[in-house]
Amino acid sequence: MERVNQRTNHILGFNIKRLRVENNLRNIDVITQLQLHGVSVSSSTYAKVESGANNPSVDMLIALTHIFKCDFNAFFKS
């Protein structure tokens, strides 16, 4: 089960970073927008999400769909 979680975290992180880059946003831009959506996150925590070390919260994923103008499927593409 741990391998599945690690793989999912890696896929999520990779796709979140890909979407951020495709939208020409810096980490700080996304963090600021997340905070405006009510998701409190530090720059180090966000970096860990993009690297796959941390699992994003559901609230973060919902906010990211608004920031990146995408649906949830975009986060799980492998």
52 neighbors 9 (Cβ within 8 angstroms): yes
- In this prediction, what percent of the chain has a pLDDT beyond 90? 87
Q: What is the distance between the alpha carbons of residues 65 and 7, in angstroms, rounded to a whole number? A: 21
CB 63 within 8 A of CB 34: yes
Mean pLDDT, residues 35-60 taken together: 97
- Can you give the pTM of this predicted structure? 0.91
Confidence of residue 44 (pLDDT cuts 50, 70, 90): very high
| Class level of CATH domain 2-73 | mainly alpha
Q: Which tokens in the block code for residue 67? A: 């920031």
